[in-house]
Structure 1
Amino acid sequence: MQLRAEPVTAEAFAPFGTLVLPPEAPGERAFYTQWLGATAQDATPRLHVNFVPQSMLPITATVLERHPHAAQIFLPLEASRYLIVVTPSLPDGSPDLARARCFVAPGNVGVVYRAMTWHMGATALDAKAHFAVCMWRNDRDDDEFLTLTEPLELLAESKQ
């Protein structure tokens, strides 16, 4: 299956989570507290920073992941553009690949994946990237990975 990358917008991404956008005016604050917390009783907040090497489109996605107990937050510390690949779940919990989306986000926009949202791992475009990643975790059942029987071919944005 082929997916063409498209610029991310808050409206298009809303079924999968939310974008973390910088405030528009000095002194303003944008709060995302409602995304913190977890359904697992023994979960604690975890914060790490990852290094993501540069990738170039087209990309073949063979694995998706999701986190059943909490949202996962990615905040670019150093990034040009990065890829966001998401898909909702079918009633049986498997990814609904027919409704998968591929977005390109600028390096000044973070992303919050809603709990149970299938997504591809962090993928930096143009240059290497570093992300701060925050989520509530316990030490079991926090990550589910699925190897796709039919890979997703991620294509560059169309020239308009």
Structure 2
Amino acid sequence: MKTIWLSLLLLSLLTPTAAPAAFYQWTDAEGVVHFTDNRNHIPTQYREKAHRVEVSDTAPTVVSPDANAVSRPAPTVTAKPGGHDERWWRNRFKELRVELKALQDQRTGLEQQLVELRRKRTIFQRARDREAINAMQAQVSTVDAKISEMLNRIAALDLAAAQAAVPVEWRQ
């Protein structure tokens, strides 16, 4: 019986509760839209223009500072998608792709060295050749992990660009 009560107690503690989140939105002098969850983080010159945005499972609504619950769609796209200009987006994608290409080239070189080490081991059967192969395989695994991380970073940037309505040609 204690086990059942303990299980129910743990289950009730681990069950997530839905909590609506409130954010504040304002547009600066350059037209960039900013969001924060703390009104004190809003620069003083923009506090009067800031709107409270209620976020829940449904569509977000903007609450005017004057009225309690004025529902209207939240403003969306600015002149600079995601707060950055075309050059920033293009450079960011280029930097990540150049880094990915360098990692892929490094992996190709390591693979060639690994093939050579395996050939030597087949011919000579030395312990140091086996150790070198194991070390090289560890390096290849490390580079593979870096490549995977880089692909995740590119995918995350692409997702952020899509959410910020960045044109596809800027992502090339």
Q: Taking structure 2 as the reference length, what is the TM-score of the superposition?
A: 0.19
Tell me: higher relative CO, structure 1 or 2? Use CA pairs within 8 A at least 6 residues apart: 1
Normalized per residue, the structure richer in strand is 1
Normalized per residue, the structure richer in helix is 2
